[in-house]
Amino acid sequence: MVDNPVPETLHFTATDGWMLEGDFHHASNPRIAVMISAGTGFPRTFYHPIARYLAGRGATVMTYDYRGIGGSNTSKSGFYDIDYPDWGHLDMPAALDTLIASAPGLPVTHLAHSVGGHFIGLMPNQAQIARHAFVSVGTGYFARHHISNIPRELLFWWIVGPYLIHRYGFVKAAGGWQGEGLPPLLFKTWRRWCHTKSYFKPDFANTPAAKGYDAVSAPIRSWIFPDDPIATPSTARDLLACYPSAKSETVLRSPSNIGVNRIGHEGAFRKGREVLWAEIGDWLVAAG
């Protein structure tokens, strides 16, 4: 069981000095450490239920907010300069270093939701991670998403998002967008990638990042769900192909497999998914 179910909040800095905020979920006699990397627009608190569950099974778990999100939205001026790759190039490495320093001697693992699995190749310290559990991780290329979701996505990319930026200066929670506020530069990069079949690859081709993706060798297990309109089997395969040196496998789980009516793109982390969490936890614990 967890000695203290209340998370320990911490502050740490990225290499460029941006102050980031996270939480530790401590376990009695931990066997592994787990870094949970969020999907776009999700604050770290969204992942606290699974973090507490994993802590109860013997993991020291770290949740954290990327810059511009939740408790890491500390710079009013810098917010407008945040670009999508900053989360992987600057924030994820800082979170990993912080977790390693706080969990000496423990195997370090990674639980990634959605975009949390996209930027591992940008992390200079990614080799310190023993294995990755991907949940609802696929490229954002809209044409390979569920056809029923495509009109909603195009509305967001070309009408709702631009209007919110024009009206408020950023993509705030309105007009169907339910996540945290997004910086305008990040939104435009995300939109551009999602309209490209090869997603982010053109941006990173012929740069050190290309070698970074090739260097990722820790095993990856990717959980996807048939009612997820974004992380479809094809987009999940496309994303895993970005890590050619990593041994990877895909696990398909339907809502009925875990005793719920819906999973979707974010439902794997909501309460009542303990059957799935146990499966993910077993995969991560095996790193020890």
CA 225 to CA 129: how far, in whole Å?
A: 25
**Neighbouring residues of 118: CB distance < 8 A, sequence distance ≥ 6:** 88, 137, 139, 200, 239, 242
- Is position 223 within any domain? yes
Structural domain range at position 24 = 8-147+210-285
What's the predicted TM-score (pTM) here? 0.96
CA 278 to CA 216: how far, in whole Å?
A: 26
Tens digits of residue pLDDT in 184-237: 999 999 999 999 999 999 999 888 888 999 999 999 999 999 999 999 999 999
Q: Please report the pLDDT score of residue 132 as a whole number.
A: 98
- Is position 1 within any domain? no
CA 96 to CA 108: how far, in whole Å?
A: 9
Tens digits of residue pLDDT in 108-159: 999 999 999 999 999 999 999 999 999 999 999 999 999 999 999 999 999 9
- Is position 157 within any domain? no
* Residue whose C-alpha is closest to residue 279's, from 264, 259, 126: 259
What CATH number did the domain enclosing 221 receive? 3.40.50.1820
Tens digits of residue pLDDT in 15-57: 999 999 999 999 988 999 999 999 999 999 999 999 999 999 9
- Is position 102 within any domain? yes
- Is position 78 within any domain? yes
- Domain count across the chain: 1
